[in-house]
A and B are shown apart, each in its own frame.
Chain A
Amino acid sequence: MATIKRTVEVELSTTGMDAQGRPVRTPLAVAEDGSTITVAAPPSIEPELEGEHMLINLGPQHPATHGVLRLVLELDGETVVRCIPHIGYLHCGFEKIGEYRQYNQIVPWTDREDYLNSIGNNVSYILGAERLFGIDCTPRATVLRVIAMELSRIASHLVWLGTTCIDIGAFTPFLWAFQERENIYALLERWVGARLTTSATRVGGMAADVPAGWTEQLQTFITLFPKTIDEVERMLTKNGIWVGRTIGLGAMTADEALNYGLSGPMLRASGVAYDVRKDFPYLDYETYDFDVPVGSNGDVYDRYLVRVEELRQSTRILEQALRRLPDGPVNVDDHRVILPPKSKATSEMESMIHHFKQVMEGPRPPIGECYVATESPKGEKGYYMVSDGTAKPVRWRIRPPSYVNLSAIPKMVEGHLLSDVIAINASIDIVMGEIDR
């Protein structure tokens, strides 16, 4: 008998075949001792009707998957029995490229990976790079970076808000959210010249200091923004449709959330009070007076409440930062990392050599490694850099919060309806650029 040739050729890395050559089905749940637990499929509405499970493909091109995410769902009618996510559709080799770029040249790449939090990513990365160099930035730069991170947090949560509302069916908050983002874009554009991909930081300081009149514009934003948050809350928080669509969905208990490595609003909504700004502070966050909202149920509604409250808290931090913004230089006075002023570079030998070395080769840190984690709007964002003394890192690793958050989606989605999958996916607040890098 002729062998049946499978036209679907896959080279498996797992031992996926049993003795008959049929693929082995990975069990849905594995107990602590390694034995399989069979998860009972949710009861069908019409038990007499014989049916079979459908395999439905959601994505990678889909309006509601927040990027190029592919979810393969096993459906019993409308109920999801199992979900298998596929990622990698936006994998662009960031970490590989990082090994071929100097430390200052990597900054534009940090914009593009989590593109909703671009200036926040710039700051996170440069904190890691400066730790690797052994540099502490100036007081003015410290406060400016806090302002940058909080503006970025607001901007990212606004996109989350807008897109989640569209996914669940409310179109208007999307327009409100993006209008507020235009105000933030205007601020960023005045500061660094770009709306979205800012590349605002450099080792030892910032690319530019804020121009005259910028702080007044920021103050206007801080004064007017809470009104938009109030408007959104008035529309959504006690809205029967919104609550009905979001409450009880995708709940993760606190120890599940910790074990899966969730971070950010996902983790805090489940009841774990872990915020990198409070527990492992950086940029003097311990001196700012702000609260961290923590939920209790870990469902989609709690995550919504946590993020909206974070918008308010970010505004609070911005106000304090603006009041304490000190004068002074924004760049460190260390010519191993910061270009000397032209007048010195053209007259003094030492400055000229510094200038030459930095432009041709780039600043070189000592041999070592460091992992610096910050609280991005998505969760714990860490950059792990290993240096061998040359101008380009040996390894540039991005610890993407959305990557680990998304890995919990099969757990969260089991037993829910197909439309709930969209709501749960929206509540994770994923950015495929960060997940796939």
Chain B
Amino acid sequence: MTTPFTPVVGGSALPSDAPAAATQREVPHRGGPANPSAEALRAKFGGAVLRVDVVWGETTVIVERTRVQEIVRWLHDDASQRYDYLSDLTAVEFRDAEHPIEVVWHLRSIAYRRFLRLKVQLQRGQPYEVPSVWPVFKGADWLERECYDMFGIRFAGHPDLRRILMWEQYKEGFPLRKDFPLRGRFSRAEQLRQALAANPEARYSMEELSIADAFEDLPQEMRNRLRSGEKTGE
């Protein structure tokens, strides 16, 4: 890095007479002071900010899908916001079929001691695609992959979007969707059969096979085994 980094201490950007951080008690269900960043976002992005909610003391800003990366980048770079930490990135699908799927970003500003939740609502029936924030936060890499794996939401601009928790050839679907049954779609015997049929050695990603110059350079014995479609080494 060329620019020198000033170590971040929590609350360093707050004025010296600001109240110290304290345990919150008797937090109201709704209402209460909103995070000042919500107003700043409204001022800067206007129409892209669809709604602001304050629930249990936490501010939620619902924004337009296409401008998420721009908004996150501004929150990261702007000196009055300094949201330099991405806590979490996930999605929520509601039981009510009318309710859209929400993709949620949890952002923290350590210098200002603030917490902000950004949301994007994806209507059902439309393709589930959202811009990736990986160019801004490298930590979004695996978080977005997991969101894709569990919900099927694609992140445009992610360098390597593939399944992470389930194996890449997993055929049953996206587990955390509400139409996915708890015990899976296939019978137990079928699940076992599919799991055992996948040779652990075959579970290299294309990138890894390209390092090893893929199939042609694998040892003859291994190529024979993979070619004969063997299930497991015996």
Query: A residues touching B (Cβ–Cβ < 8 Å)?
Result: 6-14, 16-17, 22-26, 30, 32, 34, 53, 55, 72, 74, 82, 84, 86-88, 91, 93, 95-97, 100, 131-132, 134, 136, 253-256, 258-262, 271-275, 278-286, 366, 368-371, 373, 380, 382, 384, 386, 388, 394-395, 397, 399, 403-404, 406-408, 436-437
A-B contact pairs, 25 of them (CB 8 A): A13-B162, A14-B162, A26-B159, A55-B212, A84-B205, A88-B165, A93-B182, A95-B176, A134-B27, A259-B139, A260-B137, A260-B138, A261-B85, A271-B7, A272-B8, A274-B10, A279-B10, A279-B113, A369-B55, A371-B115, A371-B117, A384-B90, A399-B88, A404-B142, A404-B143
Most chain B CB atoms below 10 A, which of A280, A283, A406: A280
Whether A26 contacts B207 by the Cβ 8 Å rule is: yes
B206 CB contacts on chain A under 8 angstroms: 10, 12, 16-17, 23-24
Indicate whether B211 reaches chain A with its CB closer than 8 angstroms: yes
B165 touches A283 (CB 8 A): no
A82: B residues at CB distance < 8 A: 211
A30 partner, pick from B143, B159, B169, B207, beta carbons under 8 A: B159
Asked if B100 lies at the interface with its beta carbon under 8 angstroms from chain A, I say no
- In the complex, the number of residue pairs spanning A and B with C-beta atoms less than 8 Å apart equals 215
What is the bound-complex CA distance between A125 and B15, given in angstroms? 33
Query: A86 to B203, Cβ gap below 8 A?
Result: yes
Describe B's contact surface by its main secondary structure: loop
Which residue of chain B has the shortest Cβ distance to A97 in the bound complex? B182
Q: Give CA–CA (A279, B212) in the complex, Å.
A: 47
- Residues of B within 8 Å of A285, CB to CB, are 23
Q: Given A368-B55, A382-B87, A394–B182 Cβ distance below 8 Å?
A: no
Which one of B7, B20, B115 has the greatest number of beta carbons of chain A within 10 Å?
B7
A261 touches B137 (CB 8 A): yes
A17-B206, A24-B210 are known contacts; what are 19 more A-B pairs with Cβ within 8 Å? A6-B215, A9-B169, A14-B161, A23-B206, A34-B135, A96-B180, A134-B27, A136-B25, A258-B85, A271-B7, A273-B9, A274-B85, A280-B115, A282-B24, A285-B23, A384-B104, A399-B106, A408-B138, A437-B165
- State A254–B110 Cα separation when bound (angstroms): 13
How close is A91's CB to chain B, nearest CB, in angstroms? 4
B1 touches A255 (CB 8 A): yes
Residue pair B104, A281 in contact (C-beta under 8 Å): no
CB distance from B38 to the nearest CB of A (A): 16
Q: Mark B149-174, 1 if CB is under 8 A from A, else 0.
A: 01000100001111111111100000
User: B227 on the interface (CB 8 Å rule)?
Assistant: yes
B22 at the interface (CB under 8 A from A): yes
Mark each residue of chain B from 207 to 229: 1 if its CB lies under 8 Å from any CB of chain A, else 0.
11111101100000000001101
Bound together, the chains give a CA A371 to CA B94 distance in angstroms of: 17
Please tell me the number of chain B residues within 8 Å of chain A, measured between CB atoms.
81
Contacts of B5 in A (CB 8 A): 253-255
* Interface assignment of B97: CB less than 8 Å from any CB of chain A: no
Residues of B within 8 A of A271 (CB): 7
Contact (Cβ within 8 A) A273 B58 = no
A279 touches B11 (CB 8 A): yes
Residues 166-192 (chain B) with a chain A CB within 8 angstroms: 166-169, 175-176, 180, 182
Question: What B residues does A134 contact at CB under 8 A?
Answer: 27, 29, 56
Contacts of B7 in A (CB 8 A): 254, 271-273
A362 to chain B, nearest CB (A): 16
B140 to chain A: which residues have CB within 8 Å? 261
- Least Cβ distance of A283 to chain B in Å? 6
Docked CA distance A86–B96 (Å): 35
Across-interface contacts of A382 in B (CB, < 8 A): 87-88, 106
Q: How far is the CB of A24 from chain B (nearest CB, A)?
A: 8
How far, in Å, is A303 (CB) from chain B's closest CB?
Answer: 17
Q: Does B79 contact A (CB under 8 A)?
A: no
Taking a contact as CB atoms closer than 8 A, the residue among B22, B55, B160 that contacts A281 in the complex is B22
CA distance A323 to B66 in the complex (A): 55
Instruction: Please pick, from B9, B95, B141, B204, the residue contacting A8 in the complex, using a CB distance under 8 A.
Output: B204
Which of chain B's residues 46-104 have a Cβ closer than 8 Å to chain A? 55-56, 58, 60, 84-88, 90, 92-96, 104
Contact of A55 with B161 in the complex, beta carbons under 8 Å: no
Contact A280 B212 (CB under 8 A): no
Q: How far is the CB of A67 from chain B (nearest CB, A)?
A: 14
CA distance in complex: A87, B210 (Å): 20
Q: Enumerate chain A residues within 8 angstroms of B226, measured Cβ to Cβ.
A: 7-8
In contact, B182 and A96 (Cβ under 8 angstroms): yes
- Cβ of B26 within 8 Å of any chain A Cβ, yes or no, is yes
Whether A395 pairs with B205 at a CB distance below 8 angstroms is no
Residues of chain A with a CB closer than 8 A to B180's CB? 96
Q: Are B90 and A281 in contact (CB under 8 A)?
A: no
The residue on B at minimum CB distance from A16 is: B206
* Cβ-closest 6 pairs across A and B: A261-B139, A279-B10, A23-B206, A88-B165, A407-B142, A91-B165
Known: A8-B204, A254-B5. A23 touches B56 (CB 8 A): no
Which residues in B have their C-beta under 8 angstroms from that of A386? 92, 94
Q: Considering the chains assembled together, what is the distance between the CA atoms of A373 and B108 in angstroms?
A: 11
Q: Does B43 touch A at the CB level, under 8 Å?
A: no
Measured CB to CB, the closest approach of chain A to B55, in angstroms, equals 5
Complex Cα gap A370–B27 (Å): 11
Choose one: A8, A404, A436; the contact of B202 (CB below 8 Å): A8
In whole angstroms, what is the CA distance A13 to B182 when docked?
24
Query: Residues of A contacting B154 with CB < 8 Å?
Result: 13
The answer to whether residues A274 and B1 also contact, given A30-B159, A91-B166 and a CB cut-off of 8 A, is no
Given A55-B211, A93-B175, A279-B110, also A12-B204 (CB < 8 A): no
* Chain B min CB distance to A175 (Å): 34
Residues B182 and A273 in contact, CB atoms below 8 Å apart: no
Bound Cα distance A407, B27 (Å) = 35
Find chain A residues with CB under 8 A from B210 CB. Answer: 22-25
Pair B92/A394 contact, Cβ less than 8 Å: yes
